[in-house]
A and B are shown apart, each in its own frame.
Chain A
Amino acid sequence: MDLPLPVLLSTGHLYAVTGAALVGLGLYAFITLRHPLRQLLAVNVVGAGIFLILGGLGRGPDATDPFPQALVITGIVVAVALTAFGAAMIVRQAQTRAAAKPAADDNENPAP
Chain B
Amino acid sequence: MTFAFDLILCLMILGTAAIALFVRDALAAIAFFIAFGNLMGLAWLGLDAVNVALAEIAIGAGVTGVLLILARARLLALGDAATSTGSPLLLRLGALAACAGFVVLLAAAVLSIPPESGLDRVVAPLMPGLGIENRVTGVLLAFRAYDTLLESFVLLGALVAVWSLAPAGAWPGRPADPGMADAPMRRVAGTFGQLLLPVALVMAAYLVWAGSDLPGGAFQAGTVLAGGLLVAGMGGTIGLPSSDQPLLRAALVLGPVVFLAIGLAGVAAGGLLVYPAGLAKALIVTIEYTLFLSIGVTLALLVAGPPMPGASDPDPEGKG
A–B contact (CB under 8 angstroms) = yes
Shortest C-beta distance, B143 to chain A (Å), equals: 8
B67 at the interface (CB under 8 A from A): yes
**Cα A51 to Cα B41 with chains together (Å):** 11
Q: Is the CB of B68 within 8 A of A40?
A: yes
Q: Is the CB of B14 within 8 A of A63?
A: no
Residue pairs across A and B with CB atoms within 8 Å: the count is 284
Shortest C-beta distance, B25 to chain A (Å), equals: 11
Majority-rule SS of B interface residues: helix
Instruction: List chain B residues, Cβ under 8 A from A73.
Output: 51-52, 55, 136, 140, 217, 219
Shortest C-beta distance, B46 to chain A (Å), equals: 7
Instruction: List chain B residues, Cβ under 8 A from A87.
Output: 67-68, 70-71, 305
Q: Is the CB of A69 within 8 A of B49?
A: yes
From A20, A45, A63, A81, B103 is in contact (CB under 8 Å) with: A20
Shortest C-beta distance, A41 to chain B (Å), equals: 6
From B84, B115, B139, B303, A33 is in contact (CB under 8 Å) with: B84
Instruction: List chain A residues, Cβ under 8 A from B87.
Output: 32-34
Q: Is the CB of B219 within 8 A of A29?
A: no
**Cα A35 to Cα B71 with chains together (Å):** 13
The tally of residues in A whose CB lies under 8 Å from a CB in B reads 80
| Top 8 closest pairs, chain A to chain B, by CB | A12-B115, A60-B117, A24-B103, A81-B158, A70-B139, A65-B117, A84-B302, A66-B135
Binding site for B on A (CB under 8 A): 1-3, 5, 7, 10-29, 31-35, 37-38, 40-42, 44-45, 48, 51-53, 55-67, 69-74, 76-85, 87-92, 94-96, 98
Binding site for A on B (CB under 8 A): 2-4, 6-7, 10, 13-14, 17-18, 20-22, 26, 29-30, 33, 36-37, 40, 43-44, 46-49, 51-52, 55-56, 59-60, 63-64, 67-68, 70-72, 74-75, 78-80, 82-87, 91-92, 95-96, 98-100, 102-103, 106-107, 110-111, 113, 115-120, 123, 135-136, 138-140, 144, 147-148, 151, 154-155, 157-159, 161-162, 165, 167, 217, 219, 299, 302-303, 305-306
